[in-house]
Amino acid sequence: MEHKQTKWWKRLLIGASRFLEVFFAFLFLYLTISIYGAVIPVGNLDNKGDITIYVQTNGVHTDVCLQVRTAQMNWLEFIPGEDFPEDASFDYIVVGWGDKGFFLDTPTWAELKVSTALNAAFLPSPTAMHVAYIAKPKEDDEHIRVQISKNDYARLVRYVKNSFRLKNDHVDLIAQGGYTAYDKFYEAKHSYHMFRTCNTWTNEALKSAHIKTGIFALFPDGIMDHLKSQDL
């Protein structure tokens, strides 16, 4: 009996050792990808153009901020104005992509559940678009202004629009509502996982418009640090 218990403990220790080896190897790979992907730049170093956009972050999540109306795009025609209170001060629309469960169940960080975080990180999960209307953003380390050409703006608009899941050719509003009267959630395309985060969405949006950013950004620094280095 003692011999069987010893063999069982040995198998358990071997299994635990192999699990830790795989876990730390995966962690090393993930950190390597995140670091090198963030520091290697792509896109234009000097963006000059007629259209102003902003990229914003709260330190964890990133969004793009686009003018509500330009000669090329009126966002109120794509995202119905009746979904939001009318307010003439709204100059920009803020759009971000992310894990649907995380968006809907976590209005504040204090309400973050372990199960929500683990599901978002390790399991491919449904996604949503977070949309808000705001006045002109202030310029600071969390709100970076970028000037782009009309052609690059058209590419950015196409990328953002293509991220929405449509229903009967219209954006699909999520009935639960937003955090305030001025933001809403819509159904989105693609799944969220640890290699496809809210920041990789923003990163791909900027790359589509040839804006300087990291080649693969899992975290905000891989985006914001490059924008801060530009001569705007």
Question: pLDDT tens across 126-167, in order?
Answer: 999 999 988 889 899 999 999 999 999 999 999 999 999 999
For residue 7, tell me if it sits in a domain. no
Query: The tokens 């920041």 sit on which residue?
Result: 199
24 part of a folded domain: no
Strands (E), the chain: 41-42, 51-57, 62-67, 92-99, 127-134, 143-148, 166-167, 170-171, 183-187, 213-214
What's the distance, Cα to Cα, between the start and end of the chain in Å? 75
Query: Are β-strands 170-171 and 62-67 bridged in parallel, bridged antiparallel, or unpaired?
Result: unpaired
Indicate whether 109 belongs to any domain: yes
Which of 31-35, 144-148, 155-159, 201-205 has the lowest average pLDDT? Answer: 31-35
| 172 within a domain of the structure (yes/no) | yes
The answer as to whether 197 is a domain residue is yes
- Give the residue numbers spanning the domain of 173: 40-228
Residues 6+ apart with CB under 8 A from 29: none
Any domain includes 141: yes
What total of structural domains would you count in the chain? Answer: 1
Given a cut of 90, whether residue 46 has pLDDT beyond it is no
Question: Counting runs of H as helices and runs of E as strands, what totals does the chain give?
Answer: 7, 10
Q: How far apart are CA 207 and CA 35, in angstroms?
A: 18
* Residues above pLDDT 90, as percent of the chain: 50
Domain contains 35: no
* Residue 21 domain-assigned (yes or no): no
Question: Which single residue is written with the structure tokens 């040839």?
Answer: 210
